[in-house]
Structure 1
């Protein structure tokens, strides 16, 4: 009787092996589910980034406001007949004046 019990216990363990460690086992499925979750999070981030870039491209194509804003802040450009004033606080070094401002004549009569 003891031999039959040991044989049945061994068979039970052999049946459990593919369930836990086999090709379609629970551990492997849990690992794949984790990989899928990571991929979904990355896709969501990329979708948000693409939406932001798409709106920026549409803004640059359709309106001149975005182009003007970029020219002002990134390239320090000003419009024609516009006066550039910059206030420097105490302890700050004298800022460099953009070439477009230094070369442009200032008309104060307006």
Structure 2
């Protein structure tokens, strides 16, 4: 009888070790859940950035004024009949 109990205790301990340590264990599952949560947060940030970029591209494709405004702001575009004034703040 003692041998049977000893064998059962050893089997239960081995099953517990497999449950808590190794492949498919609770520790691994928790780690993967954390990694999934981090990846989803990063994906949401990147999706928002992509949507802003798509909106900008659609705006540039649809309106000529948007291209001109961008050229004025980023490249310093001045038309031939315009006068450039530089305002310097003290």
TM-score of the superposed pair, with normalisation by structure 2: 0.82
The alpha carbon displacement at 1:70 in A equals: 1.4
Q: For the residues of structure 1 that align with 2:49 and 2:56, how far apart are their CA atoms? A: 11
Structure possessing the higher relative contact order (Cα contacts under 8 Å, 6 or more residues apart): 1
Aligned to 1:54: 54
In our comparison, the structure showing a higher alpha carbon Rg is 1
State the shift of 1:51 in Å: 0.4
Tell me what 1:89 maps to: 89
Alpha-carbon distance in structure 2 between the residues aligned to 1:77 and 1:34: 49
Once the two structures are superposed, residues 61-92 of structure 1 have per-residue CA deviations (whole angstroms, 9 ceiling, x without a partner) of 100222111111111112231221112233xx
Q: Aligned residue pairs: how many? A: 89
Unaligned ranges ≥5, structure 1: 91-110
Q: Once superposed, what is the RMSD of the aligned Cα atoms?
A: 2.1
Instruction: Name the structure where helix makes up a greater proportion of residues.
Output: 2
How far apart are 1:9 and its partner, in Å?
Answer: 3.7
